[in-house]
A = this chain, B = another copy of it.
Amino acid sequence: MTDLTRALLDAAADLLAAHGSRGLRMVDVATRAGVSRQTVYNEFGNKETLVRAVALDKTGQFLAGVHDRLTAAADPLEGLRAAVEFVLDQAARDPLPHSVFSGANAEDMLPFITTRGHEILSAAAEVFAAHVAAHWPHVPEDHRALVAQTTVRLVVSHLLTPSGDAPAMVVAVTRALLA
């Protein structure tokens, strides 16, 4: 990824968080990134593609962070706990996800993780499935898929409607599934 692409994605993400996808203007993205409007069109053909690219990029950032936490910890379940905590924490801190989950920009961005959420869901499940495969090699492949998908679904559920100590709950469920 070029520096330009990076700058455009970041600019678009900020503006998206502030004004929603409806109020996003290409010229503002260009100005904020310090380039001309046409450069934005050279990079992403149109607005819809740009918005989708931002969503994909943000997802990638989350999954990278998750992967880091999963592999950094000595105990694999502690790694999961740290990863879940990271996701919840980041979703509250990062302006774009926060604007979505707080309901401010929910109307046009929620579908990305609910209705049209299959891509994100399966991408996240794949990351965690690899972690399971690495540390619980005795778990058969189909059960591994069930565990991974369940864990991801629970995390997303806690993003949408938080309650109590989410990391602890998710870890408790995942541990039980792996026992």
A107 to B20, CA, bound (A): 14
Q: How many residues belonging to A are interface residues under a CB distance threshold of 8 Å?
A: 29
Whether A99 sits at the interface, judged by CB under 8 Å, is no
- Overall SS of chain A's interface: helix
Besides A107-B108, A153-B153, 11 more A-B contacts (Cβ < 8 Å) are A106-B111, A106-B115, A114-B114, A117-B161, A121-B163, A149-B163, A150-B154, A153-B157, A173-B177, A176-B179, A177-B177
Question: A156: CB under 8 A from chain B?
Answer: yes
Complex CA distance for A106 and B111, rounded to whole angstroms: 9
Closest to A162 in B: B118
In the complex, what distance in Å separates the CA atom of A111 from the CA atom of B103? 8
Instruction: State the CA gap A111–B161 with chains docked (Å).
Output: 10
Choice from B117, B121, B149, B161 contacting A115 with Cβ under 8 Å: B161
Alpha-carbon separation in the docked complex, A169 to B149 (Å): 10
